[in-house]
Amino acid sequence: MKIALAHSDSEIARCFPVMAQLRPHLVKDEFVARVRRMLAEGFHLAFLEDAGAVCAVAGYRCYDKLFSGRNLYVDDLVTDAARRSEGHGAALLHWLAQEARRQGCVQLELDSGVQRFEAHRFYFRERMHVSAYHFVVNLKT
């Protein structure tokens, strides 16, 4: 297993099939350009490769909050459905925690949709806990 950051267009594009499993609204032909725009805003795209295949992907960013200090926020964390329960998600989550420490972060955080019960079991097993509700208002009315 190898974990790396996607820098080139080809590395970013290789992440699409796995990312689309979590974010099915994404358009393949727009993915690289969208990630490139996000990279310019501090986003990072990490991928776990095993036997030449991208098996897990994580999008994240580091930022400061008055509330808690410096944080690594995981926008996206997904393992290829065909490769679940092989340790890829846990390996990538542990890598993210190491990256957070390397970046001087005091915590790693993520949001997970309320319907994602299997993901929640995974997060609890990885010693994460629910610390807040996340409220949203749709501004496209």
| Alpha-carbon dihedral sign for residues 29, 20, 134, 106 | negative
Q: Which contiguous run of DSSP H or E holds residue 93? A: helix 88-102
Note the pLDDT of residue 134. Answer: 74
pLDDT tens-digit series, residues 63-116: 999 988 999 999 999 999 999 888 999 999 999 999 999 999 999 998 777 677
Q: All domains of the chain, ordered by start, with CATH?
A: 2-125 (3.40.630.30)
Alpha helices, H only, 3-68: 9-22, 28-39
pLDDT tens-digit series, residues 9-63: 999 999 999 999 999 999 999 999 999 999 999 999 999 999 999 999 999 999 9
Question: Is the pLDDT confidence value at 117 over 70?
Answer: no
